Amino acid sequence: MFKRKLKPLEKSATIGIVAPASPESPEIIDSKIEIFQNLGFKIKKGKHLYDKNGYLAGNDKDRAEDLNSMFLDKNIDAIVCLRGGYGSIRMVPYLDLKGIKNNPKPFFGYSDITLLLNYISNKCNFPTFHGPMITSNFYDLLTKEFFLKLLTHTKTKIIYNLNDICCNNYLIWNKKDFSGNIVGGNLSIICYTIGTPYEINFNNNILLIEDVDESPYAVDRMLSQLISCGKITKLSGIIIGYFTNCINKNNNITVEEILKEKLSPFNIPIIQGVKIGHDYPNITLPIGSKFKFSSKDDLLIQKDVIFK
C-alpha cells in the first residue's frame, strides 16, 4: 500500500512540462503544447524545455533541475514529459528524492522515461504513470480517454477490462490468476539498468514490456539477458505491449514468435497484445501500483488506493 497518495486533477489544474531525455525543435514543442492545451489544463514549461545539447535536451543538471522544480512547485498539479529518446539515466543522479517524496504528484511518460517512472515510484513510494507524453497523439480517442481518466480519477480503485485495453487478437499464455505491482516499461531500458542503482524490482511483480525499432534478434538477446540473470523466474506475471517496427526482412521469424519461445516455458501467466507503448492507442497504466488479474473475467483489478 502506498504511503503517499495522489490528488486527482480538476479542470483548473496546472501541468508542468519537462524534457528529461532528448530534445525537440521549438516549432514542434510549441505545436504539440498547443494541441495538449486543448485538453483544458493550464501548463507551465520547464525552464530548460527548449535547451539542446547534442542528443540531449540540455545538460544533465539542468534537466534534473526542471523535474525537481516541478515537484517542489506547489502550483503544479501533475508533470508530463515532452518525449523520450535518451538521457534519463544521465540526469537521475541529480534528482532531489527527498523533495519529490514529500511532494507526490502524477508523473507521466514512457520509453526512455521508463527509468524515471520506476525509480521515482520505488524510492518515493507513490505511483507514476506509463502513458502518453506531450509529443504523443492526443487526437487518438482512447489514448486521450485513458490519460484523462487517470488524471481526474475520483474512485478509489481502477478496473481494466482486457477487451478495452487489448488488441482484438490478444493472447493469454499460462492463464491463471496472478497479482503484484506493475513495473517496467521499455524493454531496452529495463535491460540496461540491470546491475545499476536504478534496476527495477522484479520480485513477485508484474513486468510490463514494450519496445520499438528493435530486430527480433535484439529482442531475443534482451530477453535472454533477463532469463540468464534470473529475473524472469521472480515474476508473478508479464504484460506485453506493442513491439512496434520490430521486424527483420532477412528472415521469417517474428518478434511475437520470439516472445512466446522465450517466455512461455516459464509457466508464468502472460498477457500479449495490450495497447501500451510506441503505437496507438497508448493506454495509461500506473507503475508501482498493485494489481490482480482475474483469469475468469479477463480483468486487471487495481488492489491499492493511489488517489485521496
* Residues facing 182 on adjacent strands: 206
Are 125 and 2 contacting, i.e. CB atoms less than 8 angstroms apart?
yes
**CB within 8 A of 124, min separation 6: which ones?**
4, 97, 100, 101, 104
Give, in order, the Cα–Cα distances in Å from 110 to each of 80, 123, 263. Answer: 10, 18, 23
Name the helix (H) or strand (E) containing 166. Answer: strand 166-173
**Residues forming the active site:** 111, 210, 278
Angstrom distance (rounded) from CA 287 to CA 125? 11
Give, in order, the Cα–Cα distances in Å from 298 to each of 90, 242, 243, 280. Answer: 39, 19, 22, 21
Q: Report, in this order, helix, strand and coil percent for the chain, each rounded to 5.
A: 30, 25, 45
Angstrom distance (rounded) from CA 102 to CA 219? 38
Angstrom distance (rounded) from CA 48 to CA 256? 40
Q: How many C-alpha atoms does 274 have within 13 Å on its Cβ side?
A: 27
| Alpha helices, H only, the chain | 26-37, 60-72, 88-91, 97-101, 114-124, 141-151, 162-165, 187-192, 216-228, 255-263
Residue 156's Cβ-count burial label (10 Å; 0-12, 13-18, 19+) is exposed
